[in-house]
């Protein structure tokens, strides 16, 4: 009988409970689809800096053992949870120090949500694509400028380093690890049992209308343009009109948009229209035709195409999932 693959779940005080228990359930569910002789497929171990009961942000506690000698991570999957307590964990520094030493032994090193901050603090993600919860993507990039932070992905892999977006995206990541270990057919059965997508459509951008049109620097010309455009989304507006409003040339406007937002003026307008369309769909607007008209897409076809290209889901699917 093959020895079970060890998964080390690293937590800290005030961690996000589902960042640890969600992945744990994915790995534990594998046994339901294996013959008795092949169980357990995974051995789960909860770790923390000092060991003992560690309180999550929900108030529930998880029994852990203290971080072992780094060599004990040999051949394991190390999974770092996130949560509100990550800043204190970074200041304490113990988890990052352990990761520096343990990562060379581990078969895989992964993070869920803001757990990416601890792996980044250990210097293990420099030059790599990384994802975290969309709320903290900009902060992660600012604190660790050598990372390639991907604000829209649900999870990413680079060599043996993995990271996932917020909370339930950790389960998406672990389902992909199960597929690596046991194949697509078994991972599909696990997904069905947990009522999950094997491949969730769209990225995490679909979960945040505000992520669609990130804020321009306050007081700059692009911020003025954003305010002006939001009042005219239903109208036909071109780049020349935008430039004329700011009393500058189209080329100068293009330069400002690239410098302040990393996108063209036309792309900025599209993002603002998607933002507004998402808000209308979330509020329960029943007519896709009216959504298209109110946001300047003109037709349901254009609205649908924009949503599928930007979010990976149709407007109808978006409304079904996020209507309040």
Q: Which residues, 6+ apart, have CB-to-CB distance to 255 below 8 Å?
A: none
Phi/psi for 264 (5° steps) reads -80, 165
Instruction: Express each pLDDT in 18-27 by its tens digit.
Output: 999 999 999 9
The more confident residue out of 199 and 120 is 120
pLDDT band at 148 (very low <50, low <70, confident <90, very high): very high
Percent of the chain scored above 90 by pLDDT?
Answer: 66
Per residue in 91-125, pLDDT (tens digit) is 999 999 999 999 999 999 999 999 999 999 999 99
Of all residues in the chain, the percent with pLDDT exceeding 70 is: 91
Please answer whether residues 281 and 315 qualify as being in contact, where contact means their C-beta atoms are separated by less than 8 angstroms.
yes
Supply the pLDDT for residue 322: 62
Mean pLDDT of 239-260: 92
CA 183-186-190 angle, to 5 degrees, is 130
- Identify the pLDDT of residue 56: 97
**What would the mean pLDDT of 274-298 be, rounded to a whole number?**
89
Q: Looking at the domain that runs over 5-200, which CATH code has it been given?
A: 3.40.50.880
> Which residue ranges make up each domain of the chain?
5-200, 209-322
Q: What is the mean pLDDT of residues 71-87?
A: 97
Q: What is the pTM of this model?
A: 0.70
- For 7, the enclosing helix (H) or strand (E) is strand 5-10
Cα–Cα dist 251/237, whole Å: 16
Name the nearest CA neighbour of 295 among 237, 225, 215, 235: 235
Average pLDDT value for the chain? 89
When pLDDT is cut at 50, 70 and 90, the band that residue 316 belongs to is confident
pLDDT value at 197 more than 80: no
Query: Per-residue pLDDT for 201 more than 80?
Result: no
Is 1.10.3720.10 the CATH classification of the domain at 209-322? Answer: no
Once rounded to an integer, what is the mean pLDDT over residues 246-274? 90
């Amino acid at each position: 009988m093959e020895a079970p693959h060890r998964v080390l779940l690293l937590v800290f005080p005030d961690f996000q409970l589902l960042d640890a228990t969600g992945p744990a359930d994915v790995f534990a569910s594998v046994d339901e689809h294996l013959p008795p002789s092949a169980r357990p497929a995974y051995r789960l171990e909860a770790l923390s800096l000092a060991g003992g009961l560690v309180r999550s942000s929900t108030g529930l506690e998880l029994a852990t053992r203290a971080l072992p000698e780094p060599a004990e991570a040999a051949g394991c999957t190390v999974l770092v949870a996130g949560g509100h307590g990550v800043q204190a964990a970074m200041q304490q520094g113990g988890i990052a120090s352990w990761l520096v030493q343990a990562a060379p032994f581990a078969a895989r090193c992964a993070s869920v949500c803001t757990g990416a901050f601890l792996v980044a603090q250990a210097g293990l993600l420099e030059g790599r694509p990384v994802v975290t919860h969309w709320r903290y993507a900009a902060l992660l990039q600012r604190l660790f400028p050598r990372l390639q932070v991907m604000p829209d992905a649900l999870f990413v892999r680079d060599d043996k380093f993995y990271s996932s977006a917020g909370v339930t995206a950790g389960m998406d990541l672990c389902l992909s690890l199960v597929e690596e270990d046991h194949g697509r057919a078994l991972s599909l059965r696990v997904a069905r049992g947990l009522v999950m997508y094997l491949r969730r459509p769209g990225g995490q951008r679909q979960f945040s209308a505000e992520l669609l049109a990130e804020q321009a620097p306050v007081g700059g010309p692009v911020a003025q343009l954003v305010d002006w455009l939001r009042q005219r989304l239903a109208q036909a507006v071109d780049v020349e009109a935008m430039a004329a409003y700011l009393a500058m040339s189209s080329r100068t406007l293009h330069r400002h948009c690239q410098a302040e937002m990393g996108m063209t003026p036309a792309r900025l307008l599209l993002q603002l229209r998607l933002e507004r369309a998402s808000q209308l769909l979330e509020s329960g607007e029943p007519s896709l035709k009216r959504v298209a008209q109110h946001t300047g897409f003109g037709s349901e076809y254009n609205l649908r195409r924009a949503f599928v290209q930007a979010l990976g889901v149709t407007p109808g699917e978006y409304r079904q999932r996020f209507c309040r």
